[in-house]
Amino acid sequence: MTETRIKQAHEPLIRITKRDNMGLKKSAIVYAVGIFAALIFSSLLIILVTGLKPTEIFKAMYEGVIGTPVANMGINKKYVEAIHAAAILLCISLAVTPAFKMKFWNIGAEGQVLVGCLASAYCMLEFGGKMDNTVLLIVMLLTSILFGMLWALLPAICKALWNTNETLFTLMMNYVAMTLVSYFIMVKDRSGRSDLGILNERTGYGYLPELFGRSYYFNILIVTVVTVLMFIYLKYSKQGYEISVVGESENTARYIGINVKRVIMRTVAISGAICGLVGFMIVAGDKHSIKSAIVGGQGFTAIMVSWMSKFNPIIMIPVSMLIIFLNIGSKYATSAFRVDNSIGDILTAIVIFSIIACEFFIRYKVNFRKTKRRAGK
């Protein structure tokens, strides 16, 4: 060490410093630029695959989401479907938010939603026809919520008691849930196809009632209520405040007399309960079936939506819409070209990458070297 000469200090070409606070207007511009760049990049990718002209792509994507005017009779089905898909993603994002705000990295939303689905499907098959449909729906709802809650609470209890790593615990719980669902299907299925098809197709037991002629509206209504409640809960309630404090600093929380363990368990239970609710909505209000891939990775996407929206339930609405519309649109635009559906996932990831990269420019300032280095230095 004595031999190393101290290099003459000089200013590096690029230096990064922390920003105090960027104005709302400025940060909105940064995000807009980021999303725009992601969209350009995405459409370039689609052009590369399909050879469509850029205008044709956006037309095709628009048709994919909104539906063609010719097929539009009365209520536009496609449009509602897209909104519904966004609502489901939004609801999972809302579910994971309180836990994330507390820095509890619950990446098990996929599994928590899935056990919710499983609970609902089980009740549908087991109690369908044995009780009044309204009672059945309530039983389904409650068991789904209970299971979702349990699935989340198990890691939370271990976290609170022994500081067990919740990221990996919840991740493993996803696969436990998936295996249980495959097992359930094999137990219930007598045809040997490992697929239960549509549950209670003839009887319609345990189906959410239609609102304005569509069962989707019921789900959208539920999600709207959850969004508003979550916004109020996080922003104005005492518990919401406790969540922020625990998230910012556990020591501070302890110092001002918050029971950190209790807050962790309570918040994660809420998180899991909403996931279970989503499971109920998927089975009772949408798919009416069960399979291990029914959540389709949305549990993971929701985590990213929640993060990108800075845990703000209101911002989550446009973000989840952006992700879902891009997904549906790109699938529709490329559907004629026999490429895999995964194009939607790729575009989702590109948007996420660019939005989280934008955060950097909001939090930090990049300084370039102003003066030229003099010779000999």
Closer CB to another protein, residue 221 or residue 356?
Answer: 356
Q: For residues 79 and 363, which CB has a smaller minimum distance to another protein in the complex?
A: 363
Among 54, 342, 365, 373, binds another protein (CB under 8 A): 342
367 lines the binding site for another protein (CB under 8 A): no
Residue closer to another protein (CB basis): 228 or 339: 339
Q: Six-digit token pair at 25? A: 């207007």
**Smallest distance, another protein to C-beta of residue 131, A:** 28
Residue 345 Cβ, how far from another protein at the closest point, in Å?
3
Contact 109, 96 (CB under 8 A): yes
Name every residue whose Cβ is closer than 8 Å to that of residue 211 and which is 6 or more positions away in sequence. Answer: 217, 218, 221
Cα–Cα distances in angstroms (integers) from residue 164 to residues 172, 290, 336, in the given order: 13, 31, 48
Q: Which residue has the tokens 């239970």?
A: 269
Region binding another protein by CB under 8 A among candidate stretches 64-72, 119-127, 261-269, 336-344: 336-344
Q: Kindly state whether residue 88 participates in binding another protein, applying the rule CB under 8 A.
A: no
Spatial distance between the Cα atoms of 307 and 315, rounded to a whole number of angstroms? 11
93 binds another protein (CB under 8 A): no
Stretch of 63-71, 199-207, 226-234, 297-305 lying at the interface with another protein (CB under 8 A): 297-305
Residues 227-266 that bind another protein (CB under 8 A): none
For residue 50, state whether it binds another protein (rule: CB under 8 A): no
Cβ-defined contacts of 61-69 (< 8 Å, 24+): 61/325, 61/326, 61/329, 61/330, 61/332, 61/333, 62/329, 63/332, 64/328, 64/329, 64/330, 64/331, 64/332, 64/333, 65/325, 65/328, 65/329, 65/332
- Residue with smaller CB distance to another protein, 33 or 339: 339
Query: Least distance in Å: CB of 218 to another protein?
Result: 29
48 binds another protein (CB under 8 A): no
Our finding on whether 297 is near another protein (CB under 8 A) is yes
Q: Convert residues 158-197 into a mask of x (bound to another protein by CB under 8 A) and - (unbound).
A: x---xxxx-xxx-xxxxxx--xx-xx--xx----------
Closer to another protein at the Cβ: 188 or 287? Answer: 188
Q: Is 349 in the site for another protein (CB under 8 A)?
A: yes
Nearer to another protein, 209 or 297 (CB): 297
Specify which residues 294 forms β-bridges with: none
320: left (phi > 0), else alpha (psi -120 to 50), else beta? alpha
Task: Choose between 131 and 158: whose C-beta lies nearer to another protein.
Answer: 158
Cβ atoms of 9 and 361 closer than 8 Å: no
Site for another protein in 276-295 (CB under 8 A): none
Minimum CB distance to another protein smaller for 204 or for 297: 297
Instruction: Rank residues 44 and 135 by Cβ distance to another protein and give the closer one.
Output: 44
Q: Identify the residue among 303, 319, 326, 333 touching another protein (CB under 8 A).
A: 303
- Closer residue to another protein, CB minimum distance, 164 or 215: 164
Q: Are 90 and 165 in contact (CB under 8 A)?
A: no
Whole-Å CA distances, 82 to 77, 126, 348: 9, 32, 15
Residue 37 binding another protein, by CB under 8 A: no
* Residue 33 interacts with another protein (CB under 8 A): yes or no: no
Binding site for another protein (CB under 8 A): 16-18, 49, 105, 107, 158, 162-165, 167-169, 171-176, 179-180, 182-183, 186-187, 297, 300-301, 303-304, 307-308, 338-340, 342-346, 348-350, 352-353, 356-357, 359-360, 363-364
